[in-house]
Structure 1
Amino acid sequence: MSQLWLPLLQRERKKQSHFDPYAPYVLKRWDEGIRNGLTLWEEIKAQRYTGSSRMVYRFLATLKQAQVQTPVDFQRHTKFTATTAVWLFVRDPATLDPIQ
């Protein structure tokens, strides 16, 4: 009985999309600074790509998400109250800390 369910439980292999052969080219152009989805779609369309522009935009969205990173030296700024902020402007700049 368990052998009957085995094919249903096995993970299906991802089918290759029409875009997959063009992904390296689009990635190369991305690295060259071309970020316009329509331009990239037209370029691969000239290379016989028959898929939709939507697939190109999805790929570019993935690249954009991978590109967004928080800087390592990012420091959260101290939130000052209004009174403290005013006091910082009134004080002598020579007496302030580097953070202030």
Structure 2
Amino acid sequence: MTYTEFLRHVGKAGLTVKGFADLIKMNCVSLSNCAKKDEVPSHLAVIAALMGEMADKGVDYRSVVARIEIARKKPRGAGKEGRFGGDPERELDFFKSDTVEDRHQ
């Protein structure tokens, strides 16, 4: 789905992009990144289309979404407790003996 088409469905649902992101506990910037590619991932396209159709038919999609326990996504690359990074920095000793056993310690 193109980003323009996504915006149309979100608008039919009476939402802004920020409102859509908040409702499904997603980072708004992630949706804005879709605009650059002019392509929305299919799972978000389906959600937006269903919300737009439900709103057109007078179905309260907000109460349906509210009943779903949605965990907020961690940012990409986030480690434990939502912090970025991998292993903590440690000092490297480049002048150590260059034996196979030393390299595996």
Same fold, TM-score > 0.5, yes or no: no
Structure with the larger RCO, 1 or 2 (CA within 8 Å, 6+ apart): 2
Rg comparison, structure with higher value: 1
TM value normalised by structure 1: 0.30
TM value normalised by structure 2: 0.29
